[in-house]
A = this chain, B = another copy of it.
């Protein structure tokens, strides 16, 4: 261990493949051409948005495995979750996938919790092929966590739009990677990470997730830099999951107070995915945001070496409609993984 929150992965577990399924609006954004599949009908022809989200989760796993000539039978582990009550998107997808399944709940930081666990379990020899997967769906999340879409509630200026999307990222040990012919990625390694603690600055506005989550991201960045004895510039990019425009500004301010300047080498999946689309207000959010953008936009940049070392941290807001109605503030968490370009 390196510090209380951080860990080093000496065996450098590899990211060998990934896949993303997104909705039409995400496909129309600036990253549209990166995603594997853009679903023009967000029900996928199924009877409910919930069933569609689960199918996207499942399809992302199968597609990522297909790219390396594997099937779900080859998986050591399926690790992941989503935002819905009792993580039904992941649970029902796991029923179809039939691999040993570790269900997680970490709100929008689920994909980083999955990657951390896959990294540690691969390092320890408990997994040689793990699918880390997370999903969200605008329409299933809105009606479960906020309001029925039929109400036509207008977003507030700090609102973010839940991404319809799923991303699956395949983590393998080196031996497994070497046995795969032409994997999509052969130069991307998980070299460490930082496990978050829950932070709560007392924000009670469930329409201002960026502000609620920024302190958790700041804490995890500062812990990571201290534990690894690095400065922000030791990372080509520090990538957050879905702080979006407002949360990112808050993050710069909070990091500044800790003496860390990340403004020049920070980006955020929630800011990127919808570009300047004003209907998304501050940007994207949801488990599927970080998962799909990492899968399809950032991993290829690490593979080519355009990015040599990144700190990827997603943030999760651990509230529920019940806790909000009971007047509770919003506890948040942020987990980080270090992804590096390596020559072999």
Residues of A within 8 A of B (CB): 1, 4-5, 7, 47-48, 50-51, 76-77, 81, 83-88, 91-92, 94-95, 97-107, 113, 117, 120-121, 123-126, 128, 144, 195-200, 318-323, 326, 328, 331, 333
**Complex partner residue of A318 from B7, B76, B86, CB under 8 angstroms:** B86
Assuming A100-B196, A102-B106, A120-B121, what are 7 further A-B pairs, CB within 8 angstroms? A86-B323, A88-B323, A94-B198, A94-B333, A101-B198, A103-B105, A117-B117
**Complex CA–CA separation, A91 to B94 (angstroms):** 24
- Residues of chain B with a CB closer than 8 A to A320's CB: 84-86, 88
Kindly report which residue of chain B lies nearest to residue A47, judged by CB atoms: B326
Copies of this chain per assembly:
2
Supposing A105-B104, A123-B124, A318-B103 touch, asked if A198 and B98 sit within 8 A by C-beta, the answer is yes
- Residues of chain B with a CB closer than 8 A to A102's CB: 104, 106, 113, 117, 195
Supposing A85-B322, A198-B95 touch, asked if A113 and B124 sit within 8 A by C-beta, the answer is no
**Complex CA–CA separation, A323 to B53 (angstroms):** 12
Q: Is the CB of A328 within 8 A of B47?
A: no
- Residues of chain B with a CB closer than 8 A to A322's CB: 50, 84-85, 88, 144
Q: Is the CB of B200 within 8 A of A101?
A: no
- Residues of chain B with a CB closer than 8 A to A321's CB: 85
Kindly report which residue of chain B lies nearest to residue A144, judged by CB atoms: B322
**Complex CA–CA separation, A144 to B87 (angstroms):** 15
How many whole Å from A148's CB to the nearest CB in chain B? 13
